[in-house]
Structure 1
Amino acid sequence: MKFHEFGDKKNPHIMLIHGGGNAWWNYLRQARALSERYYVILPTMDGHGEEYAIPYVSTEATVDKLMDYINENCDGRLFALCGVSLGGQIVIELLSRKPDLVEKAIIDGSVCYPTPNMAKFCTFTFKLTFKFIFSEKACKRQLALMPKMLPEKMLYPKEMRDYYIQEMPLLPKETMVSVYRTYMYYHLKASLRDTKAQVMYWYGEKEMKCVKKSAQLFQSYVPNCVIYKAQGYNHGYLALYLPDEWLEIACKFFDN
């Protein structure tokens, strides 16, 4: 696991965790904006991006490594944790490990209860379509199609397009198979009820039902959790494509 760091280490620490199949640059624009006030940490999970050669194991194994980093480099505490999709599930597991780990947490579009049928479907579909999605030629085609499919405000800047082309084709098939096998069998831990963090659970209006159900289930464990529905948006749109909107909502939460 590799960590990219932005800002002054004397400032409050924030960790932003990317989703499955993505990498640290998922949150690059948010990190640069937040680094004026915070020390921002962007991990690259095993099996992803520059860490493609290290096998991805599970949500829990990833959190073991993140806890080691936090204990060694952040005195065992952060100001805030944020994660999208798989990254959000990792935030949930982190909250379960230590009640006072963070003051604030944002979980975005994550599943937090077992969905075995969805896991089997996603794994089967992914294996069939892998070379059509993650080859270098496929990634270039996807970037070329983005201006036709997304409004201008949601397009990647050149720097992120370059990272996309460089790192997405490196993703091993085994990484996503392991992600689906573990992400969609995750269940909430009883220790989550002890967290002292203020939490927001985001999801897009067009998300799958299992994500919306996950938000409600999480709130039953953490009653002070605020659920935010991003009107008109699909999975991960705020984190991946709309950093200014992400920052507006997140910073209000951080400052509250």
Structure 2
Amino acid sequence: MKVGLFVPCYVDQFYPGAAIASLQLLQKLGVDVHYPLNQTCCGQPMANSGFEHLTLGCNALFLKNFQAFDYIVSPSGSCVLHLKEHLEVPAAEQASLQMRHKIYELTEFLTDILKLEHLDASFPFRVGLHLGCHGQRGLGLAQMSEKVAPFFSKPLKLLNMIRDIQLVELDRPDECCGFGGTFCVAEEAVSVKMGKDRVADHQRQGADYITSTDMSCLMHLEGILKRNKSHIRVLHIAEILNHKDK
């Protein structure tokens, strides 16, 4: 298979380590992965703010950059969900609608397409998993606690393959962190309070790291952690899955 790696703009600008880890991990697993150099924002910020008409250029460029690939993989549940539900190019409607079905969040791709059962990685720390709302409730990466159904979690399945890791059990495992894209700007006070509650849950469990499939959520939580001068650090799940003792 030929895979295109889509790196969200905020990851590219602020957390390139998550993108590099995603690329290296896919390469280690034998995937023929490519990074189109002309890629840009997927258009989610504009669409979430009510300006979806401004995303047409982003959509057309995305289609141009990734139409040659069998799959498109990204280390961001929120961007993937936006593209799966909203990618549309009027001049190439059928092609853009077909592309929606080729877009996968990283952990979704590892579990559903590669059927990964083993990872050669080690991370000897206490880790709390934050399940971003876009990934959990939008992409179905894990079961929602409010739903009476058998539990599953694709990110947890992968983390459990890591040697020496200690996964902490949170009081509220799938609670929103309060980021919500433009929500954290429009409703700053509510967003911060939700973030503080999310951080406090990890602190009570003695976590060394908070990980997630969404670096946007982690960026929000990192700001709160730094203001509180907390020892807890944030790390994208790809960086843990790709980690080996030196």
**TM-score (structure 1 length as normaliser):** 0.33
Question: Normalized per residue, which structure has more helix?
Answer: 1
